[in-house]
Amino acid sequence: MSVHYSGIGMTSQRTRNRLIERLRAQGIQDEVALAAMNAVPRHIFVDEALASRAYDDVSLPIGHGQTISQPYIVARMIEILRNGMTLNRVLEIGSGCGYQAAVLAQVAKEVYSVERIHPLYQRAADYLSELQIKNVSLRYADGNIGIPEAAPFDGIIMAAAATHIPQPLLEQLAIGGRMVLPLGTQEQFLWLIERTEEGYCKTRLEAVRFVPLLLGKA
């Protein structure tokens, strides 16, 4: 697979810098998250026909009824997940094309990412390999189950909307860990789940729009 590092203006560092400035203006304050977004060339993760929109703050189709998330949402979820802390082991549910995993790889020591749609899993693996990102472990599996053998995770991030929090993911969250996920069907909100010695603390955040979390592999 050939990855398009260079090309016309839309792939330039200046274009990427403009996106980062827009994210700052929208309220993203975590400079580590912003630097991670700036380090990852989003244009290589989208079809060439859409490359001119790669640094717009919009979600874009990646096939199979899935999307690459809006940059603001990626930055916001990572900002919430990090909470100013260093992340060691993170689980991502819904690799998609691998973009968010690539960004997470800049801020966490180890990233485990699960994708249920095989062609997307393969595409994400190809992109991450081309970018020589070594600290992401991709799995072709049902995201509802997580990766119990790699648990506990100090961060879990979900790129699809669930109707409820899958119990296996709660169990795989380390004490002191944080999970960020969209919940809901017609109306969706981001939720922060924090695990303490006493149990789980749940906080509802802003309204969002994600594809639904589905069961099984495809």
User: 2 in a domain, yes or no?
Assistant: no
User: Does 129 participate in catalysis according to the annotation?
Assistant: no
Helix (H), strand (E) at residue 110: strand 108-115
Residue among 2, 12, 69, 129 flagged as catalytic? 69
Res 56 pLDDT > 70: yes
Rounded Cα distance, 199 and 171, in Å: 11
Give 5's pLDDT tier (boundaries 50, 70, 90): very low
Is the confidence at residue 29, as pLDDT, over 60? yes
Q: How far is CA 164 from CA 58, 115, 132, 167, in A?
A: 26, 19, 35, 9
This prediction has a pTM of 0.91
Confidence at residue 49, expressed as pLDDT on a 0 to 100 scale = 84
pLDDT tens, position by position, 108-132: 999 999 999 999 999 999 999 999 9
> Residue 136 pLDDT > 60, yes or no?
yes
CA gap 18, 54 in Å, rounded: 12
Q: Which domain holds residue 179?
A: 9-208
Q: Is residue 23 part of a domain?
A: yes
Quote the number of domains for the chain. 1
Q: What is the mean pLDDT of residues 192-204?
A: 97
Q: Which residue has the higher pLDDT, 198 or 7?
A: 198
The answer to whether position 144 is within a domain reads: yes
Any domain includes 94? yes
Q: What is the CATH number of the domain that holds 102?
A: 3.40.50.150
| Whole-number pLDDT of residue 11 | 57
Would residue 72 count as lying in a domain? yes
Q: Measured between alpha carbons, how far is 113 from 143 in angstroms, rounded to an integer?
A: 9
